[in-house]
């Protein structure tokens, strides 16, 4: 085998310039394709990562009615037994985060705003998503304190600061009235822009009592050890909770619209990549076509002296593969280096403001997701397969005498 | 048993349009150890006959036997394998693999036969020594003269230990000295190792060295004669 590989390697460098041009074209296509995807996916990945950490979890357990009607009436009882069942369902469950969540009115002495109220356990939040790292002023509350943490955007709108009082007015579980006064112990610059304008955090127990939902939760967010384990852990949990009123969702099921939006946004780059690869594919084909045609006589001689057609075809296949592998590997490496060098692109001026106004940070982070790298290898491999058909047919149908005379 | 035997061998090109009779009922028999030239003017059918004997072309009628095995009608893949183990080829234009060294070119045939690597190296070196290229083993074809390339081609043809070697106009592209040198080598191998050579040629120098001369005219054997060949000169080898 080594001799055939050596033969193929030397063959591709017979015309050094032509091979370099072909490899360069593949490198160019791979770099452009990866970069286009990376820039488009980067922002979405940040959004998804933040949503998974701060909003949905990789997995989430809810009452089966909660997805249709996000009401406290559809909260569920949570105790140590349920906690143990969840943790015992799969060894790969690393962290769980209990929450109660509802919509209320938040008010100062003059104005009122809509707010999303979260009852949280600050220590568990910290372990799950390091929420306390986003504190911009004051301190986090104790677990049983009658206190609130306000998102900065909401605090600005209500013109409230640490030490002020916040009024929350709304409805508790099963129509119970819920209104209360909470001391603002801290402010938080929440990484999800929407939540930064409307989130209020209360201690979990305080929130449960306030909402007449003692020991009840609206969701349990779950993180497996690795993201790739999400689906299999979901299966374990579904088996464990089968027959109860609790259901398990994975993060793609919880935010399908975000994924759809990302797919929609990626359609453009993918189409462009297709066109790019089509053009590069023709160039690649041109090289293999020339390499084949100018060696027909040689092929004829090799068949004359006893080389089997399949073996000869395999040498040409190795040549095709070598050119594509060279282009893909160097292209991947170059793309990775370029992305590292430019990550993230910071926006300034009007562009930055426009992005901020849309609720995003004024940076374009790059995605380094492995699949966008190796998928290029797959595409180029497909092109190589298509291109290889020509020499394969030529070798298999070659008339030795005609080839020898060519 | 003859190494090569043809029976009523005929080849007609374009049988349905403008028939060209390249071979007409050719019956020849070549024994082991012969040094035979097939001669004749252009278009006489000598290359066609060589192609038939080498299993590179199929006859319209008649048969070819090599070492008792009828190769006419053999499947393409089987024929390729048969050639690999039974027939050595030397081409007019050398046709070495340009990206391989002399040693690699000679070894390659043995690789196709699936021989042991050490054995391949050893035999390739021996053969290159025999053709006087012991000091050019690592040279590529482009770094060698035509005569040297043709000597590598002879070594390559011998590498598979074939029953006989077919050489199509082997001296046609060589200068006088190189041609004589090549002929000396082939004649020595024929004499000492009883390697069977069958040439197609116009070259008088080759014809003079042959012990048997088959003359083709219009696709048929015109004469088949044994002669006293010019002697191999040890000092020239």
Domains plus CATH for chain B? 4-229 (3.40.50.300)
Model confidence pLDDT, tens digit, residues A264-323:
888 888 898 899 889 889 988 998 898 889 889 889 888 888 899 999 999 999 999 999
Q: Against a cut of 0.90, is the pTM above it?
A: no
Q: In terms of Cα–Cα distance, which of A10, A18, A51, A39 is closest to A256?
A: A51
For the record, the structure tokens of A148 come out as 């609130």
User: Does A405 lie at the interface with B, CB-CB under 8 angstroms?
Assistant: no
Of A298, A308, A400, the CB nearest to B56: A400
Label residue A204 exposed, middle or buried (CB < 10 Å: 0-12, 13-18, 19+): buried
| d(C-alpha B9, C-alpha A18), whole Å | 47
Residue B167 bridge partners (DSSP)? B90, B199
- The two tokens of residue A49 are 């990562």
Say whether residue A296 is in contact with chain B using an 8 A CB cutoff.
Answer: no
What is the reported pLDDT for B236? 47
pLDDT at A353: 80
Name the percent of chain B lying above pLDDT 90. Answer: 54
| Range in A265-274, A364-373, B33-42, B226-235 the model is least confident about | B226-235
- Give the best residue of B48, B56, B140, B167 to mutate against chain A (max A CB count within 10 A): B56
A308 chain-B contacts, CB cut-off 8 A: 77, 80-81, 112
Averaged pLDDT for residues B216-228: 90
Structure-block tokens of residue B102 = 């002399």
Q: Is there a contact between B97 and A305 if contact means CB atoms under 8 Å apart?
A: no
What confidence tier does A143 reach under pLDDT thresholds 50, 70, 90? Answer: confident
A396 touches chain B (CB under 8 A): no
- What's the pLDDT score for residue A349? 86
ipTM of predicted assembly, 2 dp: 0.85
Distance CA B208, CA B189 (A): 17
**Partners of A250 in the beta sheet?**
A59
| Model confidence pLDDT, tens digit, residues A194-244 | 889 999 999 999 999 999 999 999 999 999 998 889 999 999 999 999 989
**Who has greater pLDDT, A402 or A5?**
A5
pLDDT at A71: 92
pLDDT computed for residue B233 by the predictor: 52
Confidence band of B237 (pLDDT split at 50, 70, 90): very low
CB contact residues (below 8 A), chain A span 12-31, against chain B: 14
Q: What is the mean pLDDT of residues B81-98?
A: 90
Instruction: Judge: B81–A306 Cβ closer than 8 Å, yes or no.
Output: yes
Q: Mean pLDDT over residues A88-106, rounded?
A: 94
Q: Do A10 and B100 touch (CB under 8 A)?
A: yes
Chain B hits for A304, CB-CB cut-off 8 Å, are: 54, 56, 83, 89
**Tens digit of pLDDT for each residue in A162-194?**
999 999 999 999 888 899 999 999 999 988 888
Residues B80, A11: C-beta atoms closer than 8 Å = no
Q: Are A26 and A324 in contact (CB under 8 A)?
A: yes
The share of chain A scoring above pLDDT 90, in percent, equals 56
Per-residue pLDDT, B148 = 92
Partners of residue A303 in chain B, C-beta under 8 Å: 80
pLDDT at A93: 94
**Bridge-based pairing state of the strands A112-120 and A219-224:** unpaired
Cα A302 from Cα B96, distance rounded (Å):
9
**Of the candidates B57, B100, B160, which has its C-beta nearest A401's C-beta?**
B57
> How far does chain B reach from its first CA to its final CA, in angstroms?
32
Closest-CA distance of chain A to residue B162, Å: 11
Residue with tokens 């043995």: B110
Cβ of B89 and A309 within 8 Å? no
Phi then psi for residue B2, to 5 deg, are -70, 150
């Amino acid at each position: 085998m080594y001799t055939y590989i050596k033969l193929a390697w030397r063959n591709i460098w017979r015309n050094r310039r032509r091979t370099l041009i072909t490899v360069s074209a593949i490198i160019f296509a791979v770099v452009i394709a990866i970069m286009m995807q990376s820039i488009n996916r980067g922002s979405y990945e940040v959004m998804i990562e933040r949503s998974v950490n701060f909003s949905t979890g990789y997995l989430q357990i809810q009452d089966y009615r909660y997805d249709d009607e996000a009401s406290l009436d559809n909260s569920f009882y949570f105790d140590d037994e349920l906690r143990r069942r969840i943790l015992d369902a799969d060894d790969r469950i690393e962290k769980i985060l209990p929450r109660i969540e509802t919509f209320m009115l938040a008010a100062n002495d003059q104005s009122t705003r809509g707010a999303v109220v979260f009852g949280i356990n600050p220590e568990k939040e910290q372990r799950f998503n390091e929420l306390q790292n986003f504190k911009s002023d004051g301190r986090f509350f104790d677990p049983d304190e009658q206190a609130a943490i306000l998102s900065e955007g909401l605090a600005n709108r209500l013109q409230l600061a640490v030490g002020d009082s916040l009024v929350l007015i709304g409805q508790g579980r099963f129509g119970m009235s819920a209104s209360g006064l909470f001391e603002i112990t801290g402010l938080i610059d929440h990484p999800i822009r929407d939540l930064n304008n409307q989130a209020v955090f209360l201690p979990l127990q305080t929130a449960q009592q306030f909402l007449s939902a003692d020991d009840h939760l609206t969701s349990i967010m779950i993180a497996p050890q690795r993201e790739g384990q999400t689906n299999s852990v979901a299966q374990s949990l579904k088996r464990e909770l089968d027959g109860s009123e609790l259901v398990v969702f994975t993060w793609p099921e919880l935010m399908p619209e975000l994924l759809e939006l990302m797919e929609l946004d990626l359609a453009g780059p993918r189409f462009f990549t297709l066109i790019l690869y089509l053009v590069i594919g023709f160039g690649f084909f041109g090289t293999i076509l020339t390499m084949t045609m100018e060696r027909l006589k040689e092929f004829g001689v090799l068949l004359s002296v006893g080389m089997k057609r399949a073996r000869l075809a395999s040498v040409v296949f190795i040549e095709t593969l070598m050119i594509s592998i060279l282009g893909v590997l160097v292209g991947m490496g170059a793309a990775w280096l370029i992305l590292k060098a430019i990550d993230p692109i910071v926006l300034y001026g009007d562009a930055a403001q426009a992005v901020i106004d849309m609720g995003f940070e004024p940076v374009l982070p790059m995605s380094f997701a492995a699949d966008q790298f190796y998928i290029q290898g797959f595409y180029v491999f497909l092109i190589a397969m298509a291109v290889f058909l020509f020499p394969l047919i030529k070798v298999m149908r070659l008339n030795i005498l005609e080839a020898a005379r060519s | 048993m003859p190494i090569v035997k043809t029976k009523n061998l005929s080849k007609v090109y374009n049988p349905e349009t403008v028939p060209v009779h390249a071979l007409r009922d050719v019956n020849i028999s070549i024994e082991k150890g012969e040094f035979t030239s097939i001669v004749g003017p252009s278009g006489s059918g000598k290359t066609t006959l060589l192609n038939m004997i080498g299993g590179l072309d199929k006859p319209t009628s008649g048969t070819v036997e090599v070492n008792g095995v009828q190769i006419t009608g053999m499947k393409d893949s089987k024929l390729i394998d048969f050639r690999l183990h039974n027939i050595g080829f030397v081409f007019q234009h050398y046709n070495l693999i340009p990206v391989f060294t002399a040693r690699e070119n000679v070894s390659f045939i043995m690789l196709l036969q699936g021989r042991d690597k050490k054995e391949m190296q050893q035999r390739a070196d021996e053969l290159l020594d025999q053709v006087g290229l012991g000091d050019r083993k690592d040279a590529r074809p482009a770094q060698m003269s035509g005569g040297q390339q043709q000597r590598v081609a002879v070594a390559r043809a011998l590498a598979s230990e074939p029953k006989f070697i077919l050489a199509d106009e082997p001296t046609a592209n060589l200068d006088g000295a190189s041609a004589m040198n090549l002929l000396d080598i082939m004649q020595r191998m024929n004499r000492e190792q009883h390697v069977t050579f069958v040439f197609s040629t116009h070259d008088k120098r080759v014809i003079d060295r042959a012990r048997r001369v088959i003359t083709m005219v219009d696709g048929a054997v015109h004469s088949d004669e044994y002669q006293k060949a010019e002697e191999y000169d040890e000092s020239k080898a």
